[in-house]
Each structure stands twice: as structure tokens, then as C-alpha cells.
Amino acid sequence: MSLVVYLAAAVLALSAAVLFRRPRTTPVRPSALRNALTVSTCVAITLGAVVFLCSAPMTLAAVNDLTGVPNFGAPLTYGLLSAYSCSLLILLINWRGGPREQVRRLVLRSIAVYAPLIVAIVVLFTLADARVERLTDLDTYYANTPGMREMIVLYLLGHSAAIVAMAVVCVRWGREVTGLLRAGLWLIFVGAVLDLVGFQFAKYTAVVARWTGHDLDFLSTQVAPPMAALAALICSVGFVLPRLLPAAVAHWRGLRDHRRLDPLWLRVGFVSTAPKPPSSWWQSPAERLHYREVAIHDALLALAPYFDDRVRERARGAALAEGRSTHEARLLAEAAMVGAAVRRAAAREEPLETVSAYRLHATEVSGAGGLVELAQALGGTDIPATMREGTVRAF
């Protein structure tokens, strides 16, 4: 049981760490709201990880031994679970957004409800007689004990209220949005339903069974913990997916375009005078791609005096004669012109007397798309030996 709970805690902690360290490449909201959303998401997921960590039997035994108080881990875990429930509500409030004062008011209301709940859990445990240490079946063992009984019901009701509210908000909001946000909300809803049915219903049933003189402890000790772990993981995926996936896609595109620019950079990089980027291992693919774009544009500008329109026109005519489209013919013609300019520059020939006024397609479009097309058109030609032996360094 401890292994399953520890695994869930580790996955949640990793999710929080990745989310907190992600590059800020998707700024859609004002920075203050974005920071509040990031912090509240990380806090909620981290609290979930801490709850699972504290609820493991091995951890409970260690906490009890350390404090010298039998079952001290119970109010600690239940208090943290209530704080986790509150953090889920705060996360949804920040995620939904709205006027800053309204968001702040709703956050304070959530705290005002759950802070007394946590205090009540601690007070009830202090007043109760719980001298027998129970690591796996405390809820059912003390289901009829004054003080402990109320504490158990109180933490379950607090968690249920938060999960039900979260499920309702997800359903309502999910009808208004589309795309990744909607997918994330439905994942959160699935996790909430799984928590309600698999964890809370099992706990309630086992406790009520004890009240009526029956024994359904297995629901509390064997069914509820793994279901709670699965529900928390699904909810975390729902919270993290809409925030991390766009950044992950941007990273992948940056890596792809950076690699696809290699044929062009290997030819023109030796004439670039653009400043070298800082060699940091944590530099994002988008930053590396930006540096390479700047350097290539600088190199093409330096090669402009060597551009020969006659080479371009001959290559364009040959491409059209082969049945190429107008756009393909233009790219192949530009690649031939750039290749010829590179050979002249590498041989240190004098620039052409008549400077071409032609503008490359890559300089007419924004982003890396035009450069990538030019690089792919150049990809089929041989790299001059001068280029291979030069001082080109990959950005």
C-alpha cells in the first residue's frame, strides 16, 4: 500500500516541478493572473503529493514515533487533505479568472471555510481517546469513538464539498470553452467523479457500516487509497495539460525547425556577424531557433552583394520546365542563387558590380517558415569543402 501511495506522491511532485519550471511561452493572461494561476496550480499539486506522502502507513508510523503521540499522523493527514481541498477550489477560482477583487474575495471565502475546519480537526483529535495506533484502518476502528467520529466525518464532508463544487464548475465551464481547456476540464471532472465514487463513497460506506454493527473495512483500507491516487493523478493531468501541452508543442516545433535549418546554416553561417548566443544548457529550443534565424538573416544580408539574378532566372526556368509549381521554382531558384553567392564569398571574390534588388521569399514572411523552405531547397546540393572546413558553429 505504501508503495502505491508513494508512487502517486512522486508523480504529483514531478508534475508540480515541471509546471513551475516550464518556460513562459504562452502568455495569454496578464502576468499577475498568470503568476497566481501558476502558483495555485503548483501549490494544489504539491499539497496532493504531501497528502499521499503523509497517508502512507510507513510515514504514519514514522510520524507517530517521532512525536510520541499515537495516531498523530491522522490529524496531520486530514488537515493537509482539507488544505488540499481548499487549494483545489482556489485553483479553479484563479483558473476561471475575472475581476481581481472578485477573485480575491472568493479565495478569501474558501480559506475562511477551510481554516476553521482544519482547526476543528486538530481540536477534535486532541479531545478524543485514540491511544491505540492504527495505520491502515483508523477511520473504521475509531468510527464510534467520540471526538474521532466527528473528526472523521468532518474531514470527509470538507473534502466532498470541494470535490462536488469542482465537478459542478467543470461541467458548467466545460460547456463554454473548447480545445485543450475543455479537455482539461473534462479530465478534472472524471477525476472528481472517481474521487467521489472510489474514495469518498467507499469511506462513507465503511464508516456507516461500523455505525450499524457491520464490517466493510476493506472498502476503506483496500479500495479507497488506490482510487484516491488514481483520481488525483487524473485531476492533475487535467490541470497541467492545457498549460504544458502548448509549451511542449512549441518546444518540439523549435527543435524541428532548428534542425531543418541546418542545410542553410552550414552554407551561410561562416559570413554571419551576429552575436553568438549564450551557451546555456537550459536555453529553450525557441531561443536557440531565434538566435539561428537572426544569424541566418544577417548572413543573407552579407551575401546580398553576391546575388546574381542571372543564376536565379536560369534555375527558375529549368525548374518550371521540369513541371515544378511557381512557388517551388522560386525556392529552387533562390537556393541556386544563394549557393552561387556562397561559393563566391568563400573564394573571396569581389562582389558583383550590379547589386541585385531581389528580395528572398524568406525575408518576406515572418517566422522561420521561409528560412526552412530555403534550407530544404538547399538540402539537395553539395556543401562546398570551404564550408565544411570553415568556422561555422551550430547555434
Give the H or E element holding residue 273. Answer: none
User: What is the structure's pLDDT at 27?
Assistant: 39
In the 8-state DSSP scheme, what is residue 54?
H
Q: Tell whether pTM > 0.85.
A: no
Nearest residue to 141 via CA among 130, 151, 150: 130
Delimit the domains of the chain by residue range.
Answer: 2-248, 261-388
Cα-trace Rg, the chain: 31
User: What is the structure's pLDDT at 196?
Assistant: 94
The CA distance from 261 to 371, in Å, is 7
In the 8-state DSSP scheme, what is residue 382?
P
What is 2-248's CATH topology? Rhopdopsin 7-helix transmembrane proteins (1.20.1070)
Cβ neighbours around 193 below 10 Å, total: 15
pLDDT in tens, the chain (395 residues): 556 667 777 777 776 666 665 544 443 344 444 577 778 888 888 898 899 889 888 999 999 999 999 999 999 999 999 999 999 899 888 888 888 899 999 999 999 999 999 999 999 999 999 999 999 999 999 999 999 999 999 999 999 999 999 899 889 888 888 888 889 899 999 999 999 999 999 999 999 999 999 999 999 999 998 898 889 889 888 888 887 777 778 778 888 888 999 988 888 888 877 677 666 555 677 788 888 888 999 999 989 998 999 999 999 999 899 889 999 999 999 999 999 999 998 888 888 878 788 889 888 887 788 899 999 888 755 444 334 333 444 44
Burial class (CB in 10 A: 0-12, 13-18, 19+), 204: buried
The CA distance from 333 to 311, in Å, is 8
Q: Quote the crossing angle between the two packed helices 100-127 and 73-96, to the nearest 10°.
A: 170
Q: Give the count of alpha carbons within 13 A of 353, CB side only.
A: 0
The CA distance from 110 to 198, in Å, is 25
